[in-house]
Amino acid sequence: MAVLKNNFEDLLRQKFGVQSKGRLPTQQELAREIGISQTTVSRWLNQKIDRFDTSTLEKMCTYLDCNVGDLVYLDFDEAS
């Protein structure tokens, strides 16, 4: 079975032009800009998402200028 993952951090790095070791805005800043809670930002950054709220997905995709398929994906390499 595949594992559902997300590209949230990678898409944020692209948006801000930040390399892998570079600093992104704080979770609190991102939450305010996107219009979601800081807890939600944290869960996405830490791959701890277990359900999807359509409103959150819409806000995140709009903020990142991407489609849902760019944000979430199935990782078949981590299949158990």
Domain ranges within the chain, ordered by starting residue = 3-78
pLDDT band, residue 21 (cuts 50/70/90): confident
Range 28-47 average pLDDT: 98
pLDDT at residue 44 is higher than 90: yes
* CATH homologous superfamily for the domain 3-78: lambda repressor-like DNA-binding domains (1.10.260.40)
Residue 75, C-beta contacts closer than 8 angstroms, at least 6 positions apart: 2, 3, 4, 5
pLDDT at residue 76 is higher than 80: yes
Range 7-12 average pLDDT: 97
Q: Note the pLDDT of residue 80.
A: 54
Q: Which residue has the tokens 């990782």?
A: 75
